[in-house]
A and B are shown apart, each in its own frame.
Chain A
Amino acid sequence: MSAEEKTPKEKIGVYVCHCGTNIAGMVDVVGVRDWAQEHLGKDGVVISRDYKFMCSSLGQELIEKDIKELGLTRVVVAACSPHLHEKTFRTAAERAGLNPYLTELVSIREQVSWVHTDKAVATEKSKSLVAGTVKRIVYNEALEKLKVPINPNTLVVGGGIAGIQAALEIANGGFHVYLVEREPSIGGHMAQFDKTFPTLDCSACILTPRMVEAGTHPNITLLTWSEVMNVSGYIGSFNVTIKKKARFVNEELCTGCGICMEKCPLKVIDDVYEAGLGFRKVIYTPFAQAVPKYPVLDKPNCTYFKNGKCKACEKFCPTNAIDFNQQDETLNVEVGNIILATGYDLFDAGKVTNYGYGRLANVFTSMEFERLCNASGPTNGEITLRDGKTKPESVGIIHCVGSRDKNFNNYCSTICCMQSLKFAHIVKERTGANVYEFYIDMRTAAKSYDEFYQRILEEGTLFVRGKVAEVTDAARNPGEEGKLIIQVEDTLAGKQRRIPVDMVVLSSGIEPRADAKQTGKLFGISCSSDGWYIERHPKLDPVTTMTEGILIAGCASGPKDIPSSVSQGAAAAARVLDKILQKEVELEPIRASVDEAKCSGCRICNNLCPFNAISFIDDLAVTRINPALCQGCGTCVAACPAGAINGTGFSNEQIFAQIDGILMAV
């Protein structure tokens, strides 16, 4: 406003891009160019040009030449969205010796030419947007990128196959990894499976060597029975607090001989590893191949902790490794990057009440069935009904339980079709029973998956296309007594069917972890409406998140089979290695800072920062902002009643000037 009288202090160049006909087709580019030259001269515009493709090397050279020859101090490019080419033009300006933050883009393609239909109006809008940016850029400051060193250590959260893979890749690259797992052993869901589709190789046979490698790798610190409690910091230097829960077993003395488990007199139902079908001792490792081999004592169930008597494990331990006085330990580790491979929860099949799980004994979930047919499971791999003796003569496998269903989860859980086909094969092989598969659509789209489907068809499994309405034990017709009857509309035959079977397997879908939201909050990443973690880009950047330094792999970001989870673990590791090898990372200098002379110490801003970047200095009664923690959202800037907080890149002066400019052309 006051600049009208004075000579403008900056020399601004305005460049209007045609983008072929993308912009020029709807905006009078030459008109905008001339208008800027004519009307914005008092704001400092010394040159205004148009060009067919500003982003081409010739277009960029045009800007570079003007910076050098005309001594431009600010550059405004009216072209596409800054998310597309801001970097291009800032880099060009930098080549010519101008600080990159003194160049701004005006989006007259995405926000004007592509979305409007009246050329005159579109041209007017372009002019006002250019005016806004010209007035704003006068107040832009030359900024330097913040460079922060990368701590070469990495935290991997979740010891399933994705997490194991990520940890191994980084460790093999020569850098240290902390692998945190909240269960007593790594292995994840894959350790519970009997066979893996489509090759039918034994899950434990392929997983165990990886687990052992992770457990013995000199670059991996394995922290099982542990949970991340707190995360602070930013990419390059996160400070992570990990709670190592008391195992009541001294890991340095324990040899993993297993005598304590043998001697422990009390068995309890194993809801986690055995999916409620089998038992475990109170001092236990979840399975024989567990890594690490040290057992965990289940305190709430332990006779000694309840009654003060027993101590059988302690009596028989040959190395005196049992320690009833062990306490939870808190560890602090410093890492540069974090990979979340926190996996999934199984959909609770009991929610689909019409399928009778929990009410009808011989309705099983897919995980129960995995344990049932696993040679190391509660029945040693014998497929039996709930009584543990009777072999089923017919088995119905229901697909999409809790998936592709508006009442539960809308998405396809990806793995259930193949899992169900695998079950059909195993049932046929072990019991010779008739197998029915009830499916909505068959989804077998990956390498060798459809061939597997063809094989199961040839083996004589009967496929019924239709969503099962109900599983009931109410016999209506002869031959149905004592059976489970599956009521389904056969959509291919166009009729209702009632199929009596001995056993029903519900191929449950998979869901985000029940605590995925809290975990996301802990690490500063967000979940989609379904609850899966959001990747930076669903196609082009599936393993990073919007928060620098936090990566995701495996089912944490959505349902995946084992090959995809392994690929993602490796991909996330590659990203981390890339960052570690660069040794430092550049951060955008969009930050808030406090002018302590203006700060009245009112503390209004103190509770606004979700990144804990704001702290109050009691001695001086002022607030300070840690630039490394600040993410640049600007909420505190807007809140400060004294105007003592400045937000670089988006200062009050810049925004006010932009509003002036935008409204000027009206």
Chain B
Amino acid sequence: MSEQFEPVIVGFTCNWCSYRAADAAGTARVKYAPNVRLIRLMCSGRLDPTFVMKALAGGADGVMISGCHPGDCHYIEQNYKALRRFLLLRRTLKGFGVEPERIKLIWASAAEGMRLAHEIDSFVEEVRKLGPLNWPTWKDDQHKAEPVMEVTA
């Protein structure tokens, strides 16, 4: 492999903090990796886990979810619900035979354009290391997915 792998990542951001962090990064001309395409939701609590499944099934190598910092949610506490779902989702992914590291939850406030850019850069590197998401194939005899590494929630 001479050319480096460029992962495709779908990002879900809340409207109030993280999408505005992306705006702030733009306004400040902070440079970051172009691999992430953001989808705006009103709140990270809107994130239906099927969105993540859909993105991974449709060709994304990773999914990033971003919300307001705990305690700063525009909707008071819905980002905690996103956190709960995220932790469950990691386990579910593992059950499907997908590395749970392919999804990442971050917090970025509207002022943290720099932080968002930094998180995107490091996530792109992490997914690059994991390589393309090749869905595991069923083993002929056992109907069992290839085991993957342990989850630490």
Q: Which of A337-345, A405-413, A652-660 contacts B (4 or more CB under 8 A)?
A: A652-660
The residue on A at minimum CB distance from B85 is A638
Decide yes or no whether B43 CB sits under 8 A from chain A.
Answer: yes
Q: Which of B18-26, B123-131, B134-142 contacts A (4 or more CB under 8 A)?
A: B18-26
Assuming the contacts A116-B31, A521-B76, asked whether A662 and B26 have C-beta atoms less than 8 A apart, the reply is no
In whole angstroms, what is the CA distance A122 to B32 when docked? Answer: 11
B16, A546: Cβ atoms closer than 8 Å: yes
A115, B31: Cβ atoms closer than 8 Å: yes
Decide yes or no whether B51 CB sits under 8 A from chain A.
Answer: yes
Interface string of B42-84 (1 = CB under 8 A from A): 1101111111001100111000000000011111111001000
A122, A633, A660: the one contacting B34 at CB < 8 Å is: A122
Decide yes or no whether B29 CB sits under 8 A from chain A.
Answer: yes
In whole angstroms, what is the CA distance A128 to B47 when docked? Answer: 21
Q: Which of A104-112, A291-299, A465-473, A619-627 contacts B (4 or more CB under 8 A)?
A: A104-112
A83, A118, A633, A660: the one contacting B46 at CB < 8 Å is: A633
Decide yes or no whether A569 CB sits under 8 A from chain B.
Answer: no
B34, A118: Cβ atoms closer than 8 Å: yes
Query: In whole Å, how far is A495's beta carbon from the nearest beta carbon of chain B?
Result: 41
A129 / chain B contacts, CB cutoff of 8 Å: 37
The residue on B at minimum CB distance from A636 is B45
A650, B58: Cβ atoms closer than 8 Å: no
Tell me the dominant secondary structure on chain B's binding face: mixed
Q: Which of chain A's residues 121-160 have a Cβ closer than 8 Å to chain B? A: 121-122, 125, 128-129, 132
B45, A590: Cβ atoms closer than 8 Å: no
B39, A132: Cβ atoms closer than 8 Å: yes
Query: In whole Å, how far is B66's beta carbon from the nearest beta carbon of chain A?
Result: 13
Q: Which of chain A's residues 395-444 have a Cβ closer than 8 Å to chain B? A: none
The residue on A at minimum CB distance from B27 is A110
Decide yes or no whether A3 CB sits under 8 A from chain B.
Answer: no
Assuming the contacts A107-B22, A610-B78, A658-B39, asked whether A638 and B117 have C-beta atoms less than 8 A apart, the reply is no
Query: In whole Å, how far is A109's beta carbon from the nearest beta carbon of chain B?
Result: 6
In whole angstroms, what is the CA distance A666 to B7 when docked? Answer: 10
Decide yes or no whether B10 CB sits under 8 A from chain A.
Answer: yes
Decide yes or no whether B103 CB sits under 8 A from chain A.
Answer: no
Query: In whole Å, how far is B12's beta carbon from the nearest beta carbon of chain A?
Result: 9
Decide yes or no whether A114 CB sits under 8 A from chain B.
Answer: yes
In whole angstroms, what is the CA distance A15 to B75 when docked? Answer: 33
In whole angstroms, what is the CA distance A582 to B55 when docked? Answer: 45
**Most chain B CB neighbours (cut-off 10 Å) among A114, A129, A546:** A114
Assuming the contacts A650-B41, A655-B39, asked whether A638 and B47 have C-beta atoms less than 8 A apart, the reply is yes
In whole angstroms, what is the CA distance A110 to B19 when docked? Answer: 10
B49 / chain A contacts, CB cutoff of 8 Å: 638
A327 / chain B contacts, CB cutoff of 8 Å: none
In whole angstroms, what is the CA distance A652 to B42 when docked? Answer: 13
Decide yes or no whether A647 CB sits under 8 A from chain B.
Answer: yes
In whole angstroms, what is the CA distance A467 to B74 when docked? Answer: 39
Decide yes or no whether A384 CB sits under 8 A from chain B.
Answer: no
Interface string of A633-645 (1 = CB under 8 A from B): 1110111000000
Decide yes or no whether B105 CB sits under 8 A from chain A.
Answer: no
A637, B48: Cβ atoms closer than 8 Å: yes
In whole angstroms, what is the CA distance A660 to B10 when docked? Answer: 11
A82, A117, A666: the one contacting B31 at CB < 8 Å is: A117
The residue on A at minimum CB distance from B61 is A666
B34 / chain A contacts, CB cutoff of 8 Å: 112, 115-116, 118, 121-122, 125
Total interface residues on B, using CB and 8 Å? 45
B22, A110: Cβ atoms closer than 8 Å: yes
Decide yes or no whether A526 CB sits under 8 A from chain B.
Answer: yes
B30 / chain A contacts, CB cutoff of 8 Å: 115
B85 / chain A contacts, CB cutoff of 8 Å: 638
In whole angstroms, what is the CA distance A132 to B27 when docked? Answer: 23
A526, B38: Cβ atoms closer than 8 Å: no
In whole angstroms, what is the CA distance A534 to B72 when docked? Answer: 9
Decide yes or no whether B91 CB sits under 8 A from chain A.
Answer: no
B46, B60, B74, B81: the one contacting A546 at CB < 8 Å is: B74
A111, A521, A650, A658: the one contacting B42 at CB < 8 Å is: A650
A107, A110, A608, A666: the one contacting B59 at CB < 8 Å is: A666
B59, A109: Cβ atoms closer than 8 Å: no
In whole angstroms, what is the CA distance A666 to B26 when docked? Answer: 23
Query: In whole Å, how far is B87's beta carbon from the nearest beta carbon of chain A?
Result: 15
A659, B23: Cβ atoms closer than 8 Å: no
A658 / chain B contacts, CB cutoff of 8 Å: 39
B75 / chain A contacts, CB cutoff of 8 Å: 610-611, 631, 633, 635
A125, B37: Cβ atoms closer than 8 Å: yes
Assuming the contacts A659-B54, A663-B60, asked whether A635 and B10 have C-beta atoms less than 8 A apart, the reply is no
Decide yes or no whether B40 CB sits under 8 A from chain A.
Answer: yes
The residue on B at minimum CB distance from A638 is B48
A115, B26: Cβ atoms closer than 8 Å: yes
Assuming the contacts A608-B81, A610-B75, A663-B10, asked whether A83 and B20 have C-beta atoms less than 8 A apart, the reply is yes
Q: Which of chain A's residues 488-541 have a Cβ closer than 8 Å to chain B? A: 521, 524, 526-527, 534
Identify 9 residue pairs between A and B in the complex whose beta-carbon atoms are under 8 Å apart, listed by A's number: A84-B23, A115-B29, A132-B39, A521-B76, A526-B73, A610-B77, A655-B48, A658-B39, A660-B58
